[in-house]
Amino acid sequence: MHWDEAAVTRWLEPLAARPGELADVFGERLREVSLDWRDGQIHEVRVRREDGVGARWRYQAEERLAFVAGTGEASVREAVRALRSAAGREPLPIRAPRTSAADDEDASLEAERWTRRLTGVFGRHAPRHRFLWRSIETERRVVAAGVPAATSRRRLVSLEGRFTAASRHGDEERTIAFHAPDADATPDELRAALTAAAAPRDRPVDVEAGDTDVVLGGGCAVVLFHEILGHALEADASASPLSALKDARVAVAELDVTDDARRLDLFGGYERDDEGTAPRPVKLLHSGHLGARLTDRAHARPGGSTGHGRRAGPAEAPMPRCSNVVVPAGAATSDEIARRVNDGLWIEEFRGGSVELSNGTFRLRFPRARRLRRGRFTEEIGPGVLAGEILAALKNVEPVLGRESRTCRSLGWCARDGQLVPVQGAAPDVLIRHLAVRPAL
C-alpha cells in the first residue's frame, strides 16, 4: 500500500474541519490460504488475495462510509471522492491514477512450510480426519485526519474440523478448533492440542438439567468473561446491565479481568487498532469492581480511545470491540479447586457462546464435561448448555483461582452484527457456583 500520506491527509481535511468530526481511510491487503485436509492428503486448495479501501466520515449522530476494491492510490481517491460527495463537501477532482511502486508480493504465507509440518502432525496424532487449515495474513493501514498514520501486520493460523479418536468404548468422532498467531512455537502448541484432544475418554452420559457448581478449566473461563464482561463493556452497548454500575463491586476482590490487545501471542492481539490507535490494556474488572469501557474514537472518553476500534474489513465501519480477555492467575492448584466442589462439573471447552445484553443473560455450549463428586472426577458427561445471568454469575465466582493462566486456543473469532474479528484470551481455573445447566445436541 504505497500511498502518499500527505496527499490522503489533505483529501480528508475538508471532512474533519469542525471539532468532533472524524475522517479516515482504512486499507487492507489480505492473503489467505485454506487447505482442506482429509486423512493426510490435501483435497482442495483455496487461495484468496483481497485488497480494499474504506473511507469514513463521522460527526455526531451521522456516519458515512465508502468502500472501493483495491488498495492503490486510485482506489483511495475514489473512496474519498465518494465520501466527500456523500457528506456534501466539495468533491475531489478526478485525476488519472499515478503509477505506484509495485507492492511486495512476498506473501507465500509460509503455507508450504506448514504443509510439511502438518503432514507429520496429523499422521501421528489424528490420521483419520477432515480438517480445514487456514493461514491468514493481513496488512492494514490507516490514514486519519489529525492522527498519525499507522500500519500493522498480522499472520494467523487456524485449524478446525473433525477427527476419529480411539476411545475406551471404540472409535469416536471428535472436533477440534485451534487458533493462534503464526509463531515459532505454534506447531508445537498445535501438536499438544491435538494430542490432548485425541486422549482416550469414557462414554459420556447425558447432562441432568438443574443448578450446578462449575469449574471452568483449561483457560475456557475466557469465553465466559468475553461474553459477560467484554461485550457488556463495549462502549456502544447501551442496553448493557453494567451500564449504570460504574465502579460497583460485582465480584470477589480476588478477580481481575483485563482486555489486553497488546498481547501479540494471542489470536486477538494487534499493535494498532483499525483507527490507527495504539491499544492500551483496559481493566474490565479491578479487584471485583467494574472497570472502564472499551472505546473507539467515536465513543472515546476525554482520555482518548482505548484502541478497541475494530473492523471486520475495509467495507465495514469500526466498532468498539473486545480483543484478548486476560485473567491473572491465583494460587490454587487444580486439585484444590476440585476439592471445593461437592457436586458439579469441570468444563474445559466451549463450542460457542452468546450474551443477550437487553436482559443480562448468557449461554455457553460445551461439547463435554467431567462430573465432580465430593471433589473427585467421576463420569464424562455432555454435551450441554450452561446459562445464567451476568451479575449473578459474577457474584458467584469463588475467591480462589488456579495458579496457571492458560491460553484458550479454541476461541478464535467473535461475531457481532455480522462482523467477525479475531479474539482470544488466557485464564486460570475459575469456580462459579449455581449456574444453570441442561442437555443439548
From CA 26, how far away is CA 147, in angstroms rounded? 13
359 near other proteins, rule: CB under 8 A = yes
From CA 90, how far away is CA 13, in angstroms rounded? 11
Site string for other proteins, 237-256 (x = CB under 8 A): --x-----------------
Closer of 17 and 239 to other proteins (Cβ): 239
From CA 380, how far away is CA 367, in angstroms rounded? 11
Per CB under 8 A, the segment of 47-55, 175-183, 214-222, 403-411 that binds other proteins is 47-55
Closer of 116 and 335 to other proteins (Cβ): 116
**Smallest distance, other proteins to C-beta of residue 134, A:** 12
Instruction: Answer yes or no: are the C-beta atoms of 392 and 233 closer than 8 Å.
Output: no
Sequence-ordered list of residues with C-beta below 8 angstroms from that of 399, at least 6 positions apart, any chain: 252, 253, 254, 255
Sequence-ordered list of residues with C-beta below 8 angstroms from that of 6, at least 6 positions apart, any chain: none
* Binding test (CB under 8 A) with other proteins, winner from 38, 113, 169, 376: 38
175 near other proteins, rule: CB under 8 A = no
Site string for other proteins, 293-322 (x = CB under 8 A): ----------------------x-x-----
Which stretches of 260-412 are assigned E, i.e. beta strand? 282-286, 289-290, 309-310, 319-320, 324-326, 343-347, 352-356, 361-366, 369-373, 376-381, 384-389, 397-401, 406-407
419 near other proteins, rule: CB under 8 A = no
Cell (9 digits) for 297? 474514537
* Binding test (CB under 8 A) with other proteins, winner from 108, 195, 333, 378: 108
**Smallest distance, other proteins to C-beta of residue 220, A:** 21
74 near other proteins, rule: CB under 8 A = yes
387 near other proteins, rule: CB under 8 A = no
From CA 146, how far away is CA 370, in angstroms rounded? 54
Number of residues that bind other proteins (CB under 8 A): 46
51 near other proteins, rule: CB under 8 A = yes
112 near other proteins, rule: CB under 8 A = yes
DSSP type of residue 15: G
**174 DSSP β-pair partners:** 163
From CA 52, how far away is CA 55, in angstroms rounded? 10
Closer of 6 and 239 to other proteins (Cβ): 239
Per CB under 8 A, the segment of 45-53, 124-132, 185-193, 339-347 that binds other proteins is 45-53
Per CB under 8 A, the segment of 7-15, 56-64, 190-198, 210-218 that binds other proteins is 56-64
From CA 328, how far away is CA 401, in angstroms rounded? 9
**Smallest distance, other proteins to C-beta of residue 89, A:** 14
> Which stretches within 35-72 are classed as H helix?
none
* Binding test (CB under 8 A) with other proteins, winner from 356, 376, 379, 420: 356
3-state secondary structure of 192: helix
43 near other proteins, rule: CB under 8 A = yes
Nearest CA among 350, 363, 425 for reference residue 390: 363
From CA 90, how far away is CA 81, in angstroms rounded? 9
Closer of 6 and 45 to other proteins (Cβ): 45
Torsion of CA 267, 158, 129, 46, to 10 degrees: 170
45 near other proteins, rule: CB under 8 A = yes
* Binding test (CB under 8 A) with other proteins, winner from 17, 69, 199, 420: 69
358 near other proteins, rule: CB under 8 A = yes
Site string for other proteins, 114-143 (x = CB under 8 A): -x----------------------------
Cell (9 digits) for 10? 489533505
3-state secondary structure of 295: coil
Per CB under 8 A, the segment of 9-17, 110-118, 125-133, 190-198 that binds other proteins is 110-118
333 near other proteins, rule: CB under 8 A = no
**Smallest distance, other proteins to C-beta of residue 436, A:** 13
CA 428-439-326 angle, 5° bins: 20
Closer of 291 and 360 to other proteins (Cβ): 360
Task: Please report, as ranges, the residues that interact with other proteins according to CB under 8 A.
Answer: 33, 35, 38, 41-52, 61-70, 74, 78, 82, 86, 97, 105, 107-108, 111-112, 115, 239, 315, 317, 356-359, 418, 440-441
